[in-house]
Amino acid sequence: MNKGADAGAPVIVWFRQDLRLQDHAALNAALASGRAVLPVYVLDDDSSGAWAVGGAARWWLHHSLASLAENLTTRGATLTLRRGPAAEVIPALARETGAAEVHAGRMHEPWARQADDATAAALQRVGVELRLHRTATLFDLDSIRTKTGGIYGVYTPFARTCRALGPLHPPTPAPDHVPCPAPPQSDRLEGWGLLPTHPDWAGGFRETWQVGEAAAHDRLAGFLSKAVHGYDTGRNLPGQPGTSMVSPHLHWGELSPGQVWHTAEQAAQETGKGLEVFLSEILWREFAAYLLWHNPHMPEQPLRPDFARLAVRDDAGDLQAWQRGQTGIPIVDAGMRQLWQLGWMHNRVRMIAASFLVKQLLLPWQAGQAYFWDTLVDADLASNAASWQWIAGCGIDSQPFFRVFNPVSQGEKFDPDGAYVRAWVPELGRMPDKFVHAPWSAPQTVLAGAGVELGRTYPNPIADLPQARQRALDAYRTTVRRAAA
């Protein structure tokens, strides 16, 4: 607390990846101070560097900020927008408004932690304290320890420990009123250029997503009233609406993970397998945040250092074919096109497409991670990096390197009637089920009957699957042997 602050001094609430009013520990603490509350959002592309919010996520951010601003307005407060390094912007605002203290949610991204330290130090110089609260995870990530005080590297015991920590605090409601001082000068949201202009690639986003806190609750409620019951099996079928699609709402904090947990537990009619599996996925998100918290280099370097020496290929043409959904492997192309259209891809297909990139194409996982970062509305540094490392076999708790997904059998298993492929790769719309996942294996008459001419209407596969699998295994084995020698 700024001891010199006068009785009328406001407190700042610095919103970050927690763009909501319900269950917001930083906002609640600010309101509990009894002072006027100044809500602020800082677009800090300076501190985030290579991990500045990506293109698709910027679209989401724009709409989420608009929604938050509106929710604040109806409660009597104005959201102030500023752009620049947080360590300069926040202390400047504190000076300008004579703020008594600053409350914010803790982020687990390494760049944000550095920015927090710098911001706290700069605030301290003007006698103001930065108080960080847990708004983005279920637990304090430092508090989850093995019996000997160590850090978990494996999901299952981590999840067991989380569950044993007992019931979470019930989520808190949004305040009816947020007493706000006369707001200082603010940037205009439109002036930040977060939305695409030419070309406008966000048409599919607009058709798919409703952004903001109220929409987040609607999306969760819709899922909990239906799909959660068969989620344990339905979550693997990309052609069906079997998952919640709450990931962007969770990333941007329109929903807190605690709210998702509580609402799910309360809404489930029977404590079936679907609910259990859904909750375990929420803990996968927590585990990814935990891994990043304890391994800040995770987005750049393999958690198993030997894998830094894997002899990956450098092939811009293959990378571009993958990005554009033009690999000639239907399930991979369907996923990459869904990603481009919606800013989201089904988890099963994320795994297949990612595996194809790092194994069959033998391209670096960091290249895939970077593309996902730019194209996902739910792009999350922790979940993205942990998932890519898991697929590439270089994470601590990864699938073994010799597990190479076969995209054809994966497609046949999880998209048996080809509904997903047909939805996203219309060129194959008339292919019979039997060949829709491997059109190159179809007789010429079948291809002609379906209007498919490989190499003209749809690409020939850019990789020979058995050969590419062998190439990956050879490269990975060499790396593992070298490490063991």
Ligand X SMILES: Cc1cc2nc3c(=O)[nH]c(=O)nc-3n(C[C@H](O)[C@H](O)[C@H](O)COP(=O)(O)OP(=O)(O)OC[C@H]3O[C@@H](n4cnc5c(N)ncnc54)[C@H](O)[C@@H]3O)c2cc1C
Q: Please give the full DSSP string across 369-382, using - where no structure is assigned.
A: HHHHHHH-TT--HH
State in angstroms the smallest separation of the CB of 274 from ligand X: 11
| Cβ at position 225, least distance to ligand X in Å | 14
Q: Which region holds residue 235: left if phi is over 0, alpha if psi is between -120 and 50, else beta?
A: alpha
- 158 or 458: CB nearest ligand X: 158
Nearer of residues 201 and 284 to ligand X, judged by Cβ: 284
Beta carbon of residue 285, minimum distance to ligand X (angstroms, whole number): 4
Nearer to ligand X, 47 or 247 (CB): 247
| Shortest Å, Cβ 382 to ligand X | 8
CB of 83 to ligand X, least distance (A): 24
In this structure, which long-range contacts are made by residues 117-122, counting pairs with CB atoms below 8 Å and at least 24 apart in sequence? 118/47, 118/85, 118/86, 118/87, 119/86, 119/87, 119/90, 119/91, 121/87, 122/87, 122/88, 122/90, 122/91
Instruction: Tell me which residues touch ligand X (CB under 6 A).
Output: 235, 243-247, 250-251, 281-282, 284-285, 288, 347, 350-351, 354, 372, 376, 378-380, 383-384, 387-388, 391
- Identity of the residue, 20 or 82, whose beta carbon is nearer to ligand X in the bound complex: 20
- Compare residues 274 and 439 and give the one whose CB is closer to ligand X: 274
The nearest distance, CB 276 to ligand X, in angstroms, is: 13
Q: How far apart are CA 435 and CA 447, in angstroms?
A: 9
Nearest to 274 by CA among 224, 316, 309: 224
Nearer to ligand X, 281 or 397 (CB): 281
Helix (H, G, I), strand (E, B) or coil at 145: coil
Cα distances from 421 to residues 124, 170, 236, 442, in angstroms, run 56, 42, 14, 16
Distance of CA 47 to the CA centre of its chain: 19
DSSP string, 267-300: H-SS--HHHHHHHHHHHHHHHHHHHHHH-TTTTT
- The residue among 256 and 384 lying less far from ligand X, judged by its C-beta, is 384
Report, in Å, the least distance between residue 144 CB and ligand X.
16
